[in-house]
Amino acid sequence: MQDKTIAAVGSRIKNLIGYDGKESCGVNLNFLFHVVDVPISPEKTSITPGCSMIFRREIFEAEPFIPEYFGNCEDVYLSIFALFKCYRIKVNPKSFLIHKGGASVRKIPTTMDFHMEKNNLANFFILYNWLTILKLMHLFILFNLWVLFSAIFRGIFKYKIRAYIWLIKNFKLILRYKKIVNRQKKITDKELIRNYLSYKLPHGKKSTKILNNLTKIYLYIVCIKTRDM
Where would I find the beta strands (DSSP E) of the chain? Answer: 6-17, 23-24, 28-29, 35-37, 53-55, 88-100
Confidence of residue 138 (pLDDT cuts 50, 70, 90): very high
The predicted model scores a pTM of 0.88
What confidence tens digit (pLDDT) does each residue in 49-100 have?
A: 777 788 888 887 666 567 777 777 888 998 999 999 999 988 888 888 777 7
> What are the phi and psi torsion angles at 221 (to 5°)?
-65, -40
Q: Which amino acid is residue 108, in one-letter code?
A: I
Residue 32 has pLDDT above 70, yes or no: yes
- 6 against 221, higher pLDDT: 221
The span from the CA of 124 to the CA of 129, in Å, is 9
Provide the residue ranges of all domains of the chain, joining segments of one domain with +: 6-221
Q: What is the pLDDT of residue 222?
A: 96
Per-residue pLDDT at 164 exceeds 90: yes
Output the CA torsion sign for 9, 6, 54, 194: negative
Q: Note the pLDDT of residue 145.
A: 92
Q: How confident is the model at residue 168 (pLDDT cuts 50, 70, 90)?
A: very high
Residue 61, CA distances (Å) to 55, 76, 198 in order: 10, 17, 29
Residue 106 banded pLDDT, cuts 50, 70, 90: low
